[in-house]
Chains A and B, each alone.
Chain A
Amino acid sequence: MVWSSIALAVSLVGFAAVIPAAWIAARTRWLSWLPGTTLACSLLFGTFVGIVLISSTRPLRLDLGVAPFQFGIEIDPLASFFLILICAVSLPVILYAAAYLPRHYSPVQTQWIWGLTSLFLLSMALVVVASTGFAFLVGWELMTLLSAALILVDGTSKERLHNLFIYLLMMHVGAGVVAASFFAFLPASGGLHFSALRASGALLTPGARSVIFLLAFVGFGTKAGIIPLHLWLPKAHPIAPTPVSALMSGLMLKTAVYGFVRFTFDFLGGGPAWAGYVVLLAGAVSGVLGVLYAIGEHDLKRLLAYHSVENIGIIYMGLGAALIFLENDAPAWAAVAVVAALFHTLNHALFKSLLFLGAGAIADATHTLDIDELGGLVKRLPITGIAFLIGCASIVGLPPLNGFVSELLIFQSFLAGSTLAALPAQVILPLMAGVLALIGGLAAACFAKVYGVAFLGRARTAAAESAQEVPPMMLSGMGLLAASCIGLGVFPRLALDTLFSVAQTLVPGSSPPTEIAGLQRILVATTVAVLGIGLLTMAARVRRRVTAPWACGLPGLTTRMQYTSASFSKPIRAVFAAVYKADRKLDVLPANRPYFPSSISYRSVRTTSFERSLYRPMTNVVVTLATGMRRLQTGNIQVYLLYIFLTLVALLAMLGVQE
């Protein structure tokens, strides 16, 4: 306990110390490594704190301030898991950033980014360790503001500002709803300390319970990126600096998952009866639509942002299953589903950060993120290629990598749904296994496209032909993440055992069912089998000769004859055409001689259907209301004085009536 407190203090000081370190480093050339190193040390101490506290029975507590501005920290097992996630996953990202930032930004910009990133990580850590509503909301708000500041450092063009505005708007609406969900506890709990909220959770009326659950679902769902609240994700993540995109996609979304888990499992003890089905359905829709939107993209960062939507959907599917099990008195399987969702959270943080760092490396080497302009990169950037391949295989959920294990656990919990007595759960949960399989299949198609078009084949442009491998520090950052993906995939018990004990605190009265034992054994055995057979077949000496590929008898293949991203995804986009309603405009000039055109122009704009059907009407309503309210602002000073006078009269009247 003492050591963890000291380590925590050192870590906090370290986060703060990055700012003066950055200031110094901006002034002197040879101290430019200082902020990065300071930040890495703070993160190491933070990880240490988390590891110590995740298995301890006494959480670390600290309370300051007076109501209503109570500021408290409580690091219980769930918080320490997320603390480890934030600190440990950002370490490789910081390592990468130490080499990436100086190559792309001026020294002043670099130090600004270091300072802001340190505070950004601090705010995320604050969100997960907060034990009062005030501290939580402060951290929540700081996350948004600091990430917005980091986006601004990268440039202020008109389009970027527009995307940033949408990001800030949606984040603040979400924060407002989260705050409302905290305040909805007030009548029952009388204060916003988490212990008070927990105690009052059992005494809530069903109406209040439903309201709080819905507010928490919408508020945290906005931050997590559940469809249809995902609009900001593909706009905000691509415009941040690459290490920051990795942090936003890998870690910031997880704080929303933390908040949702804290609210539904800890405070509400399971939510209303229908909660599980709502969460399950939202997760399924997000998963399918997220991956379908991703298949239509060819900008690498936007594609990865949509895949974050898909994976958050999978996490929510696991959480929904857990809520359904909890509702039907099956705590053992509820714990398994929670463990599966939390493990997928960890895995997603790992492989999504890896993929974003890989995208940054591609941008560094070729100065473009459009995969249609790449090709053959695996020969120019071999180590990046291998790391990116591991990231692709993990996110698709292929054995023996970590994405497969968490999806397997979610599958098993869905199958266990058939043992419940309630008919809806008995039918819906196993059917969700089919939906999860569909999501996995589509994700495999998408990443086969990404890797095949960007890294394999032949280079489509000169930029791709002349790409150089990135500096070793960036490679080591990616390598650490790739190694952990493989490690957690073959030896999942490293994380699963700890996660089961975390789940015990959330879902009391459960012990791991016997179905989960033996998982690591078979994964290791299968990995050994695959590797063994693979190496055996590769070991044999084979004569190899280089010759031109088949071109249907034509003189030769040009690089333009390869499949592009749009052509690879065309069959899937054609089958799911109802999802991609593109506005297509085809202009043939001159109009009176259509068979002998002098020019043809084709324009296809895809606005996602949610923008058209949900957001535009809502913004129109808001704008109409605001325009109506503008009539109150007449500009006439006498009218303003009248307002003040009327307010006074009204207050006096109210006082009089009360008496």
Chain B
Amino acid sequence: MRSLIPLVQALVIVFGAPLLRGVVSKLKARLQGRQGASVWRPYADLGKLFRKEDLVPPLASPLFWMAPRIVFAATAAAVLLIPVFQPAAVFGSPGDFVLLVGLLALARFFLVLGAMDGGGAFGGMGGSREALVSALAEAPFLLGITAVAIMARSTQLAGIVTWTLGQNFFDISAVHILAFSALAMVAVAETGRVPVDNPTTHLELTMIHEAMVLEHSGPSLAFLEWANSIKLGLLLSLLIGLFFPWGMAAGFSLPVLALAAGAYAAKMAALALVLAAVESSVAKMRMYAVPDFLGIASATGALAVVFTAFGGR
């Protein structure tokens, strides 16, 4: 029973990810004065895609349909490293956040390869843009988590969460504010949201992520969309776990776990609202402004690391 809880929390992220996406879309619509689709719409979309057939370009290799499944597998495996309801994950070891970044990099590598295998122009375009964005986003991602890890004196995600749980929320820490800014910017870039990339665009020349999934269809596309939603849920859970973990269950009794689940849901809803507000109020940047954006994130992350040396507060 005890060891099942972390597995349950991983399943919650994996199967609840489309709901998160639906909530964000609904909030965006409401903020923009529209009714918006139902929050359960992404599930219906996934179901529809799974029932369809897979369309494959001529001369594409087996990698074309294997890549989306590898992307899904890597992203879902990465979820196993995140603490959600408890300050413990399914797998954990010192330095596991590097493994998390590595698994996301594996997913992205195969996403780009799958796009290039389409043999069309858009796969390459999406791939080259994604290569630029992800190359520059890795540094602030690691710098932000490094800064927090140094403060917590632990390189294990569960250890960092445990340390943060023991801190007072009103003890404002400069390192955490700066690291949160850097990681928030990276989360926007990695999940392909406005202002880095518009997930609802249909104009090919403005696409980054969408151009990579353009050629895939049917179950392959379902896996890719699902993996994208999981990535969003994963990154938001990571932000919650590193910066606002209060409310996580310390024990295994049912009321404590229920409270933890409720707190988690409330925090995710709040982050979804912030994301929807940001997406509705800023415009998408042109592509060559994204390196600047990520450079500022790197500088903020670097400053967070520098501040850890000054007793970090």
Give chain B residues whose Cβ lies under 8 Å from the Cβ of A407: 98
Q: Output the residue of A437, A440, A529 with the most chain B CB within 10 A.
A: A437
Identify B65's interface contact among A397, A516, A530, A544, CB under 8 A. A544
Could you write out 21 A-B pairs with CB less than 8 Å apart?
A: A385-B61, A408-B99, A411-B142, A418-B150, A430-B147, A434-B143, A434-B146, A444-B105, A444-B109, A449-B128, A452-B115, A456-B113, A458-B59, A526-B77, A529-B76, A529-B77, A534-B72, A543-B53, A547-B58, A550-B214, A572-B135
A571 partner residues in chain B, CB cutoff 8 A: 128-129, 131-132, 287-288
Query: How does the 8 Å CB contact mask read for B57-99 relative to A, with 1 for contact and 0 for none?
Result: 1110101011001101110110011000000000111111011
Interface window among A136-144, A300-308, A342-350, A517-525? A517-525
> Which stretch from B24-32, B236-244, B305-313 is at the chain A interface?
B305-313
Task: With CB as the reference atom, state the residue of chain B lying closest to A539.
Answer: B69
Within 8 Å of chain B (Cβ to Cβ): is A66?
no
Tell me if A433 is interfacial: C-beta within 8 Å of chain B: yes
CB within 8 A of B291: which of A530, A537, A562, A575?
A575
Whether a CB of chain A sits under 8 angstroms from the CB of B204 is yes
Q: Choose among A437, A448, A518, A563 the residue that contacts B139 (Cβ–Cβ < 8 A).
A: A437
In the docked arrangement, what's the CA distance between A547 and B119, Å? Answer: 12
B196 is an interface residue with CB less than 8 A from chain A: no
Contact residues in B for A452 (Cβ distance below 8 Å):
112-113, 115-117, 124, 127
Check A561 against B135 for contact (C-beta < 8 Å): no
**Which one of B166-174, B215-223, B250-258, B268-276 is at the interface?**
B215-223
- Which 8 A/B pairs are nearest by Cβ-Cβ distance? A563-B124, A452-B116, A441-B135, A445-B131, A534-B73, A441-B138, A543-B53, A533-B73
Instruction: Determine which of A396, A408, A435, A575 lies in contact with B288 in the assembled complex, contact meaning CB atoms within 8 Å.
Output: A575
A457 touches B69 (CB 8 A): no
Q: A430-B150, A537-B69 are in contact. Are A399 and B103 (CB under 8 A)?
A: yes
Encode contact with B along A520-561: 1 for CB under 8 Å, 0 otherwise: 011101100111111001101011111111111000010101
User: A interface vs B, CB < 8 Å?
Assistant: 376, 378-379, 385, 393, 396-399, 404, 407-408, 411-412, 415, 418, 423, 426-427, 430-431, 433-438, 440-442, 444-445, 447-449, 451-453, 456-458, 514-516, 518-519, 521-523, 525-526, 529-534, 537-538, 540, 542-552, 557, 559, 561-563, 567-572, 574-575
Closest CB-CB distance, B237 to chain A, in whole Å?
Answer: 17
Main DSSP-derived SS at the B contact region: helix
B59 with A444: CB separation less than 8 A? no
How many residues belonging to B are interface residues under a CB distance threshold of 8 Å? Answer: 84
Q: Are B99 and A563 in contact (CB under 8 A)?
A: no
CA A612 to CA B116, docked complex, whole Å: 36
B128→A569 contact, CB < 8 A: yes
Q: Is the CB of A550 within 8 A of B143?
A: no
A interface SS class: helix
B266 interface residue, CB < 8 Å from A?
no
Smallest CB separation, B215 vs chain A (Å):
5
- Tell me whether A408 and B95 are in contact (CB under 8 A): yes
A324 to B77, CA, bound (A): 36
B135:A430 contact, CB within 8 angstroms: no
Known: A393-B109, A522-B92, A563-B128. A434 touches B305 (CB 8 A): yes
- Of A433, A523, A531, the contact of B143 (CB 8 Å cutoff): A433
Which of B94, B128, B223 is close to A518, meaning CB atoms less than 8 Å apart? Answer: B94
Within the complex, what minimum Cβ distance (angstroms) separates B142 from chain A? 4
Could you tell me the distance in whole angstroms from the C-beta of A291 to the nearest C-beta in chain B?
Answer: 9
Question: Which residue from chain A places its CB closest to the CB of B92 in the assembled complex?
Answer: A522
CB distance from A406 to the nearest CB of B (A): 12
* Nearest Cβ on chain B to A430's Cβ, whole angstroms: 5
Distance between Cα atoms of A436 and B124 in the complex (Å): 26
A397 to B105, CA, bound (A): 9
Docked pose: A525 CA to B92 CA in angstroms: 10
Q: Specify which of B59, B77, B120, B129 is in contact with A530 (CB 8 Å cutoff).
A: B77
Contact yes or no, A438 B102, CB < 8 A: no
Interface centre among B136, B218, B308 (most CB of A within 10 A): B136
For residue B193, CB closer than 8 A to chain A, the reply is no
Contacts of A544 in B (CB 8 A): 53-56, 65
Q: Which residues of A contact B92 (CB under 8 A)?
A: 522
- CB-CB under 8 A from B118, the residues of chain A are 457, 549
